Structure 1
Amino acid sequence: MGRNISKRWTNHNRAGHLSNQSRLGSGFRQRVKRELSCELDSRFPDRSTEVEEAELVARCEAAVHLLEEQQCMMVAARGELRVGRARASALGRNLREEERHFLEELKRRSHKITLLSRELQHQNVTTTTLCHELHTARLKLFQQRQSTESGAEGEEEPRGKEEEEEEEEDEDYEGAGSDWLLSPPPPASPDQQEARHKRRVSLREERVRACVPQERVTSPQRPHSMPDPALFLVPLRFRLLRLNRPNRTQDGEAVEDEWEDIDDSRVHRRVDMGAGEGETAL
């Protein structure tokens, strides 16, 4: 019981103490206000409430105008912000559209590049095959040329023998005397004439082939030395023999013409075996 009374007494003291503090605070504030008002009145004796009210009204109006201007500026800024957002959205749409077109073009070009790479690979394979075929053809042509050259070398021996026989016949003509130029040639059998004609034509064809450049036949090859020009020169005795030989034989047949037609694939020329001394026969 005593304890409850003591608690109530402490609570009552605390409440009185708080009320006293609040009173003292309000009195202190009022005193400070009076002192400040007295100080203002002493400093500004001509100042009145009307002037203060007018100043306050002017300040309020200035603040209102400032607020209105700021409000207008905020509205303009919001409009600009709205326009900027619209532009940004339009630019974003344009960028997305351009990106889509770029991706489509990139895809199309990549597909085209793939097709071109396949075509190029196919052409490379074809080129490789053609190069291999060309190399094989050149090798075959080189082998054929070697075989023909070896055959021509093999034919040179009988040709040399024929030339030796012709030289022996020439020596026989020279040993017959000084009147062999004016005497007619001895009659020969048709078989001998035909064989001699064929041999002469073959010799002429070989000589013409030797003079034809290789570039006209196959392709540019290694240059060869010039053939012996003595093969194309006609000795004086054969020229005189041709001049003194009769135009017709005893049987009335015409003598074989000294001009022969040579047809060697691309070469169409006439070879005069009776050309003057010191001149070629082509």
Structure 2
Amino acid sequence: MKIKRILNHNAIVVKDQNEEKILLGAGIAFDKKKNDIVDPSKIEKTFVRKDTPDYKQFEEILETLPEDHIQISEQIISHAEKELNIKINERIHVAFSDHLSFAIERLSNGMVIKNPLLNEIKVLYPKEFQIGLWARTLIKDKLGIHIPDDEIGNIAMHIHTARNNAGDMTQTLDITTMIRDIIEIIEIQLSINIVEDTISYERLVTHLRFAIQHIKAGESIYELDAEMIDIIKEKFKDAFLCALSIGTFVKKAYGFEFPEKELCYIAMHIQRFYQRSVAR
């Protein structure tokens, strides 16, 4: 393979059997120029040209972002694939590299990164969050910059989105933000403080994610007979009224509807928090 274009010291564009490819590898372009032969032992990752915006954006990122930021980003992606035992959606190479470089730049300048969804992310995406913790050590070792938990949450979100082929970050953010909104409604309507570091909180958040994903997909989750629904409404009046408020909010803000039986399950989770709050 001959070099068609050098993007940086660790990235080149080649022509291989009528296919254009981006090759990544430490020092792959060192002491090289256009039309030189590529050393195969230097190739670590290969990306075949596709007529998509992502491919062109990846080229631009490789040419413009600091090389050490790109290398760190690729190391994190490779570690995530190893830990999760999957091939992550290629779109992450564009979105994540760009995001991480900007985050490093902000932290280097003493700016504070805040993530209002951090507690939900820790519960919803624990494996991805652990990868973020690994990334923190890597970045500290390579750049001497400390990555706060809030940014680790952002890293986890990017990995989760790419892991599940969830398109862009919008869908992942929608679900996580919706859960944060629901928890705020519970706290405000029932005048309670939900402690995040508890089993009950983890169960509620996990249940909500599961329910939202299945309802969005048009799938039925639970079956409750009419008698059980009536019992829940009567026995857990305040919790069910709170669940109804949640249903109204979600329909208005996010455009989909919780069925009544799902609101009953949500009410039962709410009741746990409510009982503990009243008992104090």
TM-score, normalised via structure 2 length = 0.21
Which entry has the higher C-alpha Rg, 1 or 2?
1
Higher helix share: 1
Larger RCO: Structure 1 or Structure 2 (Cα < 8 Å, ≥ 6 residues apart)?
2
